[in-house]
Amino acid sequence: MPTETPDQRLSKLGLTLPDIPKPIANYVSWKLFGDTLYLSGQGPRRNDGTLHTGLVGKDLTTAQAYEHAKLVGLGLLAAMKQASGNLARVEVIKVLGMVRATPDFGEQPQVINGCSDLFVAVLGERGKHARSAVGMASLPGGISVEIEAICRLHPA
Q: What is the C-alpha radius of gyration for the chain, rounded to an integer number of angstroms?
A: 15
| Span 9-66, pLDDT tens digits | 999 999 999 999 888 899 999 999 999 999 999 999 998 889 999 999 999 999 999 9
Q: Tell me which CATH code domain 1-8+32-39+49-138 carries.
A: 3.30.1330.40
pTM here?
A: 0.96
Q: Distances in Å between the alpha carbon of 82 and those of 29, 85, 86, 135, 148?
A: 10, 6, 8, 29, 16
| Span 54-78, pLDDT tens digits | 999 999 999 999 999 999 999 999 9
Backbone phi, then psi, for 58, in 5-degree steps? -130, -65
